Structure 1
Amino acid sequence: MTERLGQQLKEHVDILAGEIGERNIFRPGTLDEARNYIASVWHKQGYEVNEQFYQVRGV
C-alpha cells in the first residue's frame, strides 16, 4: 500500500467513524451523512452512483 493510499484511507475512516460517527436506525441523520459522503467520494473518482433505497423499522 502506498503512503498516499494509506493517508486517504485514514481520512475516510476519520470522517466516517469520527466526524459522522455512529450509524444505525436510531440515528437516521448519520446514515444520510454517510451515504452522501460515500457518494460524493465515488463521484469525484469518476464512478456512477446508483442508490437503492429500503426501509428498516420505518427508517
Structure 2
Amino acid sequence: MNWEQIKGNWNQAKGHLKVRWGELTDDDLDVIEGERDKLVGKIQERYGIAKEEAERQVKEFDA
C-alpha cells in the first residue's frame, strides 16, 4: 500500500497500523488522521525511537 492509498482508506488502514504498531491507541490514530508525518511522530513518542528509525519503519510499511 502506498501512502495515498492508506490516507484514502484511513479507517481500513487503522487496523493494519494497530497490528504493526500495537502501542498506538485509537486516540493516537484519530489525531494522526492519515497524515504520514503525524504517524512518524506518534511512533517516535510511543516507542522512544529516533525520527530516522520511525521514518524507516513507516517507509517499510507503505512499500
| Same fold flag (TM > 0.5) | no
Structure-2-length-normalised TM-score: 0.30
Structure-1-length-normalised TM-score: 0.32
Structure number with higher helix proportion = 2
Instruction: Give the number of the structure with larger relative contact order, counting CA–CA contacts within 8 Å between residues 6 or more apart.
Output: 2
Larger radius of gyration: 1
